[in-house]
Amino acid sequence: MDTQSRKVVVIGTGSVGCSYVYALMQTGLANEIILLDRDEERLEGEVMDLSHGLPFTPPVQIRAGCYTDCRDANLVVITAGTGQKNGESRLDLVQRNAAIVRSICDQVGDQTTECIIVIVTNPVDILTYLANRHLQWPRGRIIGSGTVLDTARFRTMLSRHCQVDARNIHAYILGEHGDSEIAAWSMAHIAGMNINKYCPKCRKCDYEKTHNQLVEDVRDSAYHIIDYKGATYYGIGLSLVRITEAILRNENSVLTVSTMLEGEYGLDDICLSVPCVIGRNGITSIIESNLPQKEKNGLQASADVLRKILDQIKT
Ligand code: NAD
């Protein structure tokens, strides 16, 4: 992979793919953004629409492409698939989207073994697992967007509630990007102070009740948004820009992406989100915190949910 180039290939130019590209093109992070979709008319229309904004952005080439464009890509982002329908759980999507992601992985894998692949299509943890097993690349190079979005929602809600800038709040949602995800309260800090110490001092609310409510609100966010407007795409678009930034700038940032665990947190052969250090080569290390028993159990339960789904697909 050319370390000077900043080429991103986006497969799937639906609401998520295009929200991502729309945000990414304004950052100057990439110098080439290539779009692919099986719906050629939609692809052409999106490329035209997005590229008409180029006089207002830092220089970047945007065009429709094909799989050979992956050869020298730094990053391939897969958002192709079908969205979550009203009332449908993310896990219901698995069979439909697994076939799509497998076939896309084959076509990317025919061109390169060098880039980083970020899977966004849901259910993201299951599909990240299948992509890892399918391509057999080093695990740090096929990652899922995981709970980066959920973590952003968590920080946003904590920020609003505590009236402290979200950038001064460190807190993570771990596990499945979905109903079994957990809030790692043991890792939550405001201005360097653990939240379990901060809240009793602040005393602005009945904090135990508030904590439970916040976690519920984070978990239900996607359902509410889908109920109100049919799909979620801006939040994930910006979450993907954040992951892209960490990779293209070789930042070694800590993000809760979905990754194949090999014994970390007592879990093996499963993909879910834990704090990972990310740079140009993808995930370079996993930060293993000593979670309290309740959070360990939550993470284990989340892994069990995912394992059950995987067992169903394998048969
Ligand atoms: P969408 O229906 O608007 O777009 C999907 C696009 O994928 C369409 O343009 C379609 O033509 C294309 N596509 C389908 N199969 C393809 C294939 N084989 N090759 C190339 N293109 C193909 O859907 P959306 O709202 O953009 O959502 C996309 C995915 O992202 C969904 O699975 C959704 O659940 C997921 N999502 C994930 C997160 C997250 O945090 N991980 C958040 C929001 C949405």
Which pLDDT tens digit goes with each residue over 115-126?
Answer: 999 999 999 999
One fold for both 7-144 and 148-314? Answer: no
Cα 208 to middle of ligand 1, angstroms: 37
Q: Does domain 7-144 have CATH number 3.40.50.720?
A: yes
Of all residues in the chain, the percent with pLDDT exceeding 90 is 86
State the average pLDDT over residues 220-243.
95
Domain locations along the chain: 7-144, 148-314
- SS3 label, residue 111: coil
Residues in the chain: 315
Q: Which residues are catalytic?
A: 177
Residue 310 has pLDDT above 60, yes or no: yes
Number of helical (H) and strand (E) elements in the chain, helices listed first = 9, 16
Q: Which helix (H) or strand (E) holds 190?
A: strand 189-190
pLDDT, tens digit (0-9, with 9 covering 90-100), for 155-181: 999 999 999 999 999 999 999 999 999
> Distance, CA 77 to ligand 1 centroid (Å)?
11
Does the pLDDT value for residue 62 go beyond 60?
Answer: yes
**pTM of the shown model:** 0.96
Rg (CA), the chain: 19
Paired residues of 3 in beta bridges: none
Atom of ligand 1 nearest to the CA of 80: 7
Q: Which atom of ligand 1 is nearest to the CA of 124?
A: 41
d(CA 244, CA 53): 21
- Which residue among 38, 88, 153 has the greatest number of ligand 1 atoms within 8 angstroms of its CB, and so is best to mutate? 38
Distance CA 256, CA 224 (A): 23
> For residue 309, which of 37, 160, 89 has the smallest C-alpha distance?
89
Q: What is the pLDDT of residue 203?
A: 83
Q: Give pLDDT, residue 315.
A: 47
Determine whether domain 148-314 maps to CATH 3.90.110.10: yes
pLDDT reported for residue 129: 97
Determine the pLDDT at residue 206: 86
Mean pLDDT calculated for residue range 74-100: 83
pLDDT tens-digit readout, 11-41: 999 999 999 999 999 999 999 999 999 999 9
Atom of ligand 1 nearest to the CA of 17: 26
Spatial contact of 244 and 8, defined as CB atoms under 8 Å apart: yes
Q: What residue owns the CA closest to ligand 1's atom 41?
A: 120
Q: Ligand 1 pocket test: which of 36, 43, 79 has the largest number of ligand atoms within 8 Å of its C-beta?
A: 79
